[in-house]
């Protein structure tokens, strides 16, 4: 039996559309999120531009590749870090999960569709913001001409989306075991990711030992690794090895999410439902 059929796809397509409509209803929240993202990129860009005055290179990055890195993360963050999975803990702690469980849908696919709808909208905003940024600031940009690296970068971006999706689901499922303490782990996660994913600077300007240790964690695969591959910083054996590491993290998080879900449902309680 096929994993998806037309009727099944229609259900999750409607979920994606509903996610888009909900985001347009709460457009003020979306705009606040986008303004925050743009301001962060703008601050980092201005900081690095100022630091590079009079210098052509920082570490093994030229001015063009370093500023390109900063700007590319604007789009990648919109795709990877926008997520509706933050609502999972609210579903569980409020008891709304019961209503979803009664419906003939797969909870993982349901939230994946919700996520994709949210990412699509943020991507549109991000491309518009990127275009305006290019128009007003005229920054130097590195354009990758190697089609193979372009394709690999895109695949790694998709890999990053799924790693982030399952890691967020894991954080949400913790509410199945402790519904009264759902924000502390997520807040810590946000603080860690903001630094270790490479949103502030390319991670390979760190000392080599620290960089290699960091590449064994899942965080660089959200932003740094897809961007660095696009810029040509990984080729050959290193590209294959770290791509494999990303797939290992995806497999580990997906399996852990399934285990937490199955065991968590056995202890899930919804009072008054």
Residue 20 pLDDT > 90: no
d(C-alpha 144, C-alpha 13), whole Å: 34
Which carries the bigger pLDDT value, residue 10 or residue 267? 267
Per-residue confidence (pLDDT) for residue 2, from 0 to 100: 45
User: The tokens 């994606």 sit on which residue?
Assistant: 16
Strand, helix or coil for residue 181: coil
Indicate the burial class of 133 (C-beta count within 10 angstroms; 0-12, 13-18, 19 or more). middle
| Element spanning 61, H or E | strand 61-62
How long, in residues, is the chain?
Answer: 273
d(C-alpha 24, C-alpha 19), whole Å: 9
Per-residue confidence (pLDDT) for residue 248, from 0 to 100: 97
When pLDDT is cut at 50, 70 and 90, the band that residue 208 belongs to is very high
Residue 88 pLDDT > 70: yes
Residue 147 pLDDT > 70: yes
- Going by C-alpha positions, the residue among 162, 113, 138 that lies closest to residue 45 is 138
Residue 1 pLDDT > 50: no
What number of CA atoms fall less than 13 Å from residue 101's CA on the CB side? Answer: 15
pLDDT over 90, % of the chain: 35
Per-residue confidence (pLDDT) for residue 6, from 0 to 100: 61
Please compute the mean of the pLDDT values over residues 49-54 and round it to a whole number. 77
Q: What is the pLDDT of residues 92-116, one digit of tens each?
A: 887 888 888 888 888 898 888 888 8
DSSP category for residue 218: S
d(C-alpha 77, C-alpha 41), whole Å: 10
């Amino acid at each position: 039996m096929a994993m998806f059929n037309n009727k099944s796809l229609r259900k999750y397509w409607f979920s994606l559309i509903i996610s888009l409509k909900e985001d347009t209803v709460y457009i003020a929240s979306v705009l606040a999120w986008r303004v925050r993202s743009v301001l962060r990129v703008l601050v980092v860009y201005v900081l690095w531009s100022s630091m590079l005055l009079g210098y052509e290179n920082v570490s093994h990055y030229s001015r063009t590749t370093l500023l390109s890195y900063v700007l590319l993360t604007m789009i990648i963050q919109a795709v990877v870090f926008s997520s509706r999975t933050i609502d999972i803990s609210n579903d569980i702690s409020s008891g709304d999960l019961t209503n979803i469980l009664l419906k003939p849908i797969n909870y993982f696919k349901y939230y994946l569709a919700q996520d994709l709808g949210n990412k699509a909208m943020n991507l549109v905003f991000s491309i518009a913001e990127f275009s305006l940024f290019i128009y007003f600031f005229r920054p130097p940009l590195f354009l990758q001409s190697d089609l193979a690296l372009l394709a690999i970068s895109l695949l790694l971006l998709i890999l990053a989306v799924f790693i982030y999706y399952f890691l967020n689901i894991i954080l949400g499922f913790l509410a199945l075991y402790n519904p009264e303490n759902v924000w502390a782990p997520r807040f810590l996660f946000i603080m860690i990711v903001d630094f270790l994913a490479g949103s502030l600077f390319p991670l390979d300007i760190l000392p080599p030992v620290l960089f290699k240790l960091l590449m064994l964690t899942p965080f660089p695969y959200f932003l740094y690794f897809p961007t660095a591959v696009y810029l040509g910083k990984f080729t050959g054996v290193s590209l294959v090895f770290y791509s494999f590491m990303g797939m290992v993290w995806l497999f580990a998080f997906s399996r852990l999410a399934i285990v937490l879900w199955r065991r968590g449902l056995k202890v899930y309680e919804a009072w008054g439902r």
